Amino acid sequence: MAEEAGGGVVVYWRPMCPYCMRLLAQLRFTRLEFSKVNIWRDPDAAAFVRSVADGNETVPTVTVSGRAMVNPSKGELLEAVAAHAPHLLAVREGD
């Protein structure tokens, strides 16, 4: 499953979720690379979200280097990346 990928950022989302759309739109304006997983298409992802969100399918749920955050703000997410995966914030060569 995607959250087992290790040192990356994974955004668990579902269609028509306004909170997901807001966070994903905000992340487009950062240099942060992340993966997206639609919990309506991935039963294992939905089960993972329930396991970290008190049994609910609360999205967006985001993992940063395997650490789960339920419905984080862009600022909270970037703080977690800076603390647990700072290499993901490094400016890429050529940018």
- Domain map (residue ranges) of the chain: 2-89
Could you tell me which of 55, 64, 49, 52 has the C-alpha nearest to residue 17? 49
| pTM score, whole prediction | 0.87
- pLDDT of 3 > 60? The answer is no
State mean pLDDT over 53-62. Answer: 97
Q: To which H or E segment does residue 13 belong?
A: strand 9-13
79: number of Cβ within 10 Å = 14
- pLDDT of 66 > 50? The answer is yes
Residue 88 confidence (pLDDT): 87
Q: Which of 17-31, 52-66, 77-91 has the lowest mean pLDDT?
A: 77-91
pLDDT band at 1 (very low <50, low <70, confident <90, very high): very low
What distance in Å separates the CA atoms of residue 12 and residue 49, rounded to the nearest whole number? 8
**What is the fold, at CATH topology level, of the domain defined by 2-89?**
Glutaredoxin (3.40.30)
Q: Which residues contact 87 (CB under 8 A, 6 or more apart)?
A: 7
Residue 2 confidence (pLDDT): 47
Burial label for 60, CB within 10 Å (0-12, 13-18, 19+), is buried
Write out pLDDT tens, residues 10-24.
999 999 999 999 999
Total residue count of the chain as it appears in this document? 95
